[in-house]
Amino acid sequence: MHLIIRGLNSLSPFADSCIATIGNFDGVHLGHQQILARLRQSAQAHGLPSTVILFEPQPVEYFQSNEKKLPRLTTLVEKIKILRQVGIDRVLCLRFDERLAKLSADDFIQRVLIANLHIKGLVVGDDFVFGCDKEGGGELLQHGVKHNFSVVVVPAYKVDGVRVGSTGIRNYLEKGDLANATKILGRAYGITGRVVHGDKVGRDLGFPTANIALHHKVLPLAGVYVARVHDLDDKKKHYGVANIGFRPTVGGKKLLLEVYIFDFTENIYQRKITVDFLHKLRDEKKFADFMELKNQIGLDVARAKEFVFDKIRKSFST
């Protein structure tokens, strides 16, 4: 990725044109990836950079009350990381505020897409709508003719006959159905964050954990999971047990993500790592005392290692 631009005020006209797409891309799931593949294909055919236009906060978050915030699948940083991995050239992140919310589709096209990005093509999903007038694909085709840019509408992507979408993934995660969430995400669901100091309760119990600073305001999952940890310096796959919750046994009040990494003793404070969630072991619960908690963690670790061993064994037998 060559360029990341934040905000309309810092947006200056580009020297060249581009092929663009617009959306939330929350989760960057398989449906999104179909749109991104068409975007790259069109950009390469025209010899132009591929550009993804995102919004922060996401429009649905802007219009929701604080009490009803939807769990987000990916933070902006996580989205950009995935977009970089799939070969997108540019990301334009616009602050979604009152001024942007009041723009009509035609105003957005003229002020942003034409005047600043000089787009030659736009690639969108078949459910795409934008502007305060909620214009969709049909109107967008007319705008394309009017302003001389092509419009590609990508049909819905389905898995097992069901349309892939962020809402479906969120529902699977909330139910602890990691297998189906993984199937339509196209990868294991993960959270990226920096390792910070905790209160060392895990270490005192014999299971030292890496505590991850959370930037998600609301998470789509909670409980105890088999986890895979990566982005460590040794480039190996590490497995462990992750807990997302409030740690009621120790009187916790703050939502935390902590992971006990098997056979790993390195100092990774301040390192940014990613924790993938592979299988739900159980819900979080309050134990009578630390000894009961320690015994349960031991059982969680044993079950997690059995899951990982079985996963590795199956990978070699296929």
Q: Are residues 8 and 156 in the same domain?
A: yes
What is the domain-level CATH number for residue 101?
3.40.50.620
Count the neighbouring beta carbons within 10 Å of the beta carbon of residue 144: 17
Q: Are residues 112 and 239 in the same domain?
A: no
The beta-carbon contacts of 240-246 under 8 Å, at least 24 apart in sequence, are: 240/264, 240/304, 241/207, 241/281, 241/297, 241/300, 241/301, 241/304, 242/275, 242/277, 243/209, 243/284, 244/219, 244/284, 245/284, 246/284
Domain assignment present for residue 172? The answer is: no
Q: Are residues 313 and 200 in the same domain?
A: yes
Task: Provide the greatest CA pair distance for the chain.
Answer: 71
Q: Are residues 102 and 233 in the same domain?
A: no
Q: Minimal CA–CA distance to 244: which of 235, 231, 257?
A: 257
Q: Are residues 144 and 280 in the same domain?
A: no
Of 36-40, 123-127, 214-218, 267-271, highest mean pLDDT:
36-40
Q: Are residues 136 and 50 in the same domain?
A: yes
For residues 50 and 18, is the Cβ–Cβ distance under 8 A? Answer: yes
Q: Per-residue pLDDT averaged across 26-54, rounded? A: 97
pLDDT confidence band for 70 (50 / 70 / 90): confident
pLDDT tens-digit readout, 247-272: 888 888 888 999 999 999 999 999 99
Pairing status of strand 158-159 against strand 150-154: unpaired
Q: Minimal CA–CA distance to 260: which of 310, 206, 196?
A: 206
What is the tally of structural domains in the chain?
A: 2
> Which range marks the domain in which residue 276 is found?
188-317
Domain assignment present for residue 97? The answer is: yes
For residues 89 and 1, is the Cβ–Cβ distance under 8 A? Answer: yes
Q: Are residues 157 and 288 in the same domain?
A: no
Domain assignment present for residue 192? The answer is: yes
Of 127, 162, 197, the one marking the end of a domain is 162
Range list of H helices, the chain: 30-46, 59-63, 76-85, 98-101, 105-108, 137-147, 166-175, 178-185, 201-204, 290-317
pLDDT tens-digit readout, 77-123: 999 999 999 999 999 999 999 999 999 988 999 988 998 889 999 99
Domain assignment present for residue 183? The answer is: no
Q: Are residues 200 and 269 in the same domain?
A: yes
Domain assignment present for residue 175? The answer is: no
What is the reported pLDDT for 10?
A: 64
Q: Are residues 121 and 203 in the same domain?
A: no
Structure tokens at 189: 């669901």
What is the domain-level CATH number for residue 312?
2.40.30.30
Q: Are residues 118 and 223 in the same domain?
A: no
Q: Are residues 216 and 79 in the same domain?
A: no
The rounded distance, in Å, linking the Cα atoms of 293 and 289 is: 6
Q: Are residues 194 and 158 in the same domain?
A: no
pTM of the model: 0.90
Domain assignment present for residue 31? The answer is: yes
Domain assignment present for residue 170? The answer is: no
pLDDT tens-digit readout, 163-207: 999 999 999 999 999 999 999 999 999 999 999 998 888 999 999
Of 101, 127, 162, the one marking the end of a domain is 162
Structure tokens at 88: 């997108």
